[in-house]
Structure 1
């Protein structure tokens, strides 16, 4: 799976990591719904850090279709709220 972090680039991520990322995504969804700014910020950074840790960066000149697009680390709670699907940023 190709994941784009807005403003940073793309990483290749094995589908087997989605369950682990979904835990953080669920937490982020809850904090966004509650309007918990500090919790939202902490969890967004944890989610993006985990994607960077588990994924393999693609070269900067590579442009492959992204199957998942995540917000930038400096995205606001309101911006992420607009990106959320029914149960979070990550399907499943």
Structure 2
């Protein structure tokens, strides 16, 4: 799957990594629901770091369609809330 982190670029992620990413996504949703801004910030950072660590960066000139778009690390709780689907940021 091709994942874009807004403002950073794209990475290719193997589907096997989505179990780990979904756990972080679930934590992020809980923190958003409870209004835990500090927890939200930490978990968003951990989620994006996991995508960077587990994924293979695509060249900047690559124009692959992104199947998943994640917010930038400095996104606010409100901005991320607008990006959510019923499953959170990460489907599944």
Looking at structure 2, the residues matched to 72 and 65 of structure 1 have their Cα atoms a distance apart, in angstroms, of: 18
Match of 1:47 in 2: 47
SS at match of 1:65: coil
SS at match of 1:7: coil
- Give the TM-score of the pair, scaled to structure 2: 0.98
Residues paired across the two proteins, number: 92
Looking at structure 2, the residues matched to 70 and 4 of structure 1 have their Cα atoms a distance apart, in angstroms, of: 6
Q: Structure 1 residue 14: deviation in Å?
A: 0.2
1:65 aligns with 2:65: yes
Q: CA offsets, 1:25-48, max 9 Å, x none? A: 000011111111000000000000
Q: Structure 1 residue 18: deviation in Å?
A: 0.5
Give unmatched runs, 5+ long, in structure 2.
none
Match of 2:11 in 1: 11
Q: State the Cα RMSD in Å.
A: 0.6
Which stretches of structure 1, 4 residues or more, deviate above 3 A after TM superposition?
Answer: none
- Give the TM-score of the pair, scaled to structure 1: 0.98
Contact 1:29 1:84 survives alignment (8 Å): no
